Chain A
Amino acid sequence: MNEPMVKIRGVRKSYNGIEVLKGVDLNVDRGEVTCLIGPSGSGKSTLLRCINHLEKHDSGELRVDNELVGYELRNNRLYELTDKRVCENRSRIGMVFQRFNLFQHLTVLENVTVGQMKVLGVRREDATKKARELLARVGLKDKESSYPSQLSGGQQQRVAIARALAMDPKLMLFDEPTSALDPELVGEVLEVMKDLARSGMTMIVVTHEMGFAREVATSAYFLDGGVIEESGDPRVILSTPSSERLKNFLSKVL
């Protein structure tokens, strides 16, 4: 139980010969809220996507809940997992995207029940009951029969969070969840995320919201050029950064 929820050691990843992750180490304990910050192209989204195997990392050790992501260690060899096993593991890791990615052809309620029913095999009545509870929790009780295109960005993102929570995740990943929102809609999404953090959910958040990082996160990692430049308590490193690059970055963001 003392094992960290996410343990990353020396993870590397390149696209077409360009290395975007150059050996990253990271630890996320249970119930922790970790923020990944850094300039665009620094590899923070790639790192997040490696954690639920949306991207395959090239080398290094990546464990979620003490299990290797995407591989199995037998006879001192790493065997790639079958699609089915990867999917099983992935279903317990929630992910929220910058562009919401709600299923456009399904209603809000169907968006929140489809994964429960088709992946977890939950019965329709139970899935619907749970979906309604979650929609109430994100403040969208009355929108269940709307289609995503009829909702504002902030509402869509809250549905996306409910959709991810419906799978009973042990870990939630957020990929710049507020970057595509109008400024006045950012607050409602951050509020839901804060509520989630208070409930003890383990979260990894790629974000540019320094206020959120300072207020909610238990740790922060600053990525630049595929390596972790600086990490620690967000209240410390965001106020008194020690590396030149983080100082430089913060002066541009704040």
Chain B
Amino acid sequence: MTANGDATVKVVPVRHYGRWVGVAVVGLFLAMVVHTLFFKVASAKVVCHVVSGAKVCQHAMVYRYQWNIVGQYFFTSEILHGLLRTLFLTVVAMVIGIVLGVTIAVMRMSPNRVLSSIAWTYTWFFRGTPVLVQLLFWSFIGAVYPHLTFGVPFMHVTFIHFNVNTSLTIMEACAIGLGLNEGAYMSEIARAGLISVDEGQIEAATSLGMTRRQTLRLVTIPQAMRVIIPPTGNEVISMLKTTSLVSVVGVIDLLGAATNIYSENYEIIPLLIVASLWYLLVTTVLSTGQFYLERRFARGALRSPPPTPIQRLRADLAGVASKFRTRRGVEVAS
């Protein structure tokens, strides 16, 4: 700071008064939210005590959202079993969806017309019908195919044969149904990723003598992952909640468990909160995983990778500390 040759001239930052007003308004709303969520209010219920011989009656003070009941049901085995089913459905459906999606994307980009139009038709069909309809269909699959046989039609050649009604549970049918539906969406995500890789990368791989398969596995897919991961994370989180549709066909997932409980004790809101908190918790874990996965696949794409939240926190703290030191007049080496 040597304006006018004076070493002591101070910089005065611009004051953002508009932002301060904004912060005040948002802060007010936040206080209201906190108040309604976590502070007790007078309920309709009247409770009477005998205080030094006289009977005193007053409205009972309760949490509007009945957190005590939420806590009571949070770890019950029925809820936890439902959570396990939800996680099972999410994982299986996403694994099917991702494998199918990449396969269909590669087929779609094949120079062979038959392969690419089959891929297009698949996406068209499974994106074009509601997932709930598909789930209902798969849960009744045993009625359409009591015995499932894979073979060559018209030729009496059989590869695999099994009884659908005895060997496929409704939950497994639901996982397959959700997976097949997800495959259609994932194929578009995978295709976007594959298209995003520069043609020059593929040419370079080809000129080194790599086959199409090697090029795809060693060059195209690793670079496409950077584009594929964020929307896939989105799909996983979305799938976590789409699985709640299975309660329609009688699978007791997380939401199904909560519904079962409140249909007996009528504590509707607290049990919906129990389910929501579990969904939020799992979403948080998934988002964290996504962040680190993205970082892993961003290698080479950015000159310096973005800091992890922990690194950022550390940097922020260091920043505040150094500001504090300068305020107190300690010279900070520049």
Contact = CB atoms under 8 A, between A and B. Distances in A.
A97 B204 CA distance: 8
B167 to A, nearest CB: 41
Contacts of A95: 204, 207
A118 B210 contact: yes
Given A147-B300, A148-B300, A105 B222 contact: yes
Contacts of A101: 198, 200-201, 203-204
Interface in B282-312: 297, 299-303
Contacts of B209: 87-92, 115, 119, 167
Contacts of B204: 95, 97, 101-103, 160, 163
Contacts of B117: none
Interface string A70-107: 00000000000001100111111111010101111111
A130 B200 CA distance: 25
Interface in A96-126: 97, 99, 101-107, 114-115, 118-119
B207 A150 contact: no
Given A149-B301, A150-B303, A119 B200 contact: no
Contact of B211 (A87, A104, A160, A163): A87
Nearest to A115: B208
B219 interface: yes
A97 to B, nearest CB: 6
B214 interface: yes
B321 interface: no
Contacts of B222: 105
Given A54-B203, A97-B200, A104 B301 contact: yes
Contacts of B212: 83
Interface residues of B, number: 25
Nearest to B204: A101
B238 interface: no
B206 interface: yes
Contact of B300 (A54, A104, A115): A104
A157 interface: no
B206 A54 contact: yes
Given A90-B206, A115-B209, A105 B223 contact: yes
Given A97-B204, A99-B200, A105-B222, A115 B210 contact: yes
A207 interface: no
B218 interface: yes
Contacts of B219: 103
A106 B300 contact: yes
A177 to B, nearest CB: 13
Contacts of B223: 103-105
A135 B210 CA distance: 22
Contacts of A103: 201, 204-205, 219, 223, 300
Interface string B214-237: 100011001100100000000000
A52 B297 CA distance: 31
Contacts of A118: 210, 214, 218
Nearest to A167: B208
A93 B210 contact: no
A163 B192 CA distance: 29
A59 B211 CA distance: 24
A155 to B, nearest CB: 14
Nearest to A104: B300
Contact of A149 (B201, B208, B297, B300): B300
Chain B CB count within 10 A is highest, among A54, A89, A104, for A104
A84 B211 CA distance: 7
A99 B204 CA distance: 10
Contacts of A87: 206, 209-211
A91 B208 contact: yes
B203 A97 contact: yes
Nearest to A106: B300
A158 B223 CA distance: 22
Nearest to B200: A101
Chain A CB count within 10 A is highest, among B209, B212, B301, for B209
Nearest to A110: B300
Contacts of A149: 300-303
A147 B298 CA distance: 11
Nearest to B207: A95
A52 B203 CA distance: 11
Chain A CB count within 10 A is highest, among B204, B206, B226, B303, for B204
25 contacts: A52-B207, A54-B203, A84-B211, A88-B209, A90-B207, A95-B204, A97-B200, A97-B203, A101-B200, A103-B201, A103-B219, A104-B201, A104-B223, A104-B301, A115-B210, A118-B214, A119-B208, A119-B214, A147-B300, A148-B300, A149-B300, A149-B302, A149-B303, A164-B208, A167-B209
Given A87-B210, A119-B214, A167-B209, 15 more contacts: A52-B207, A54-B203, A93-B207, A95-B207, A103-B201, A103-B219, A103-B223, A104-B301, A105-B222, A105-B297, A118-B218, A148-B300, A149-B300, A149-B302, A149-B303
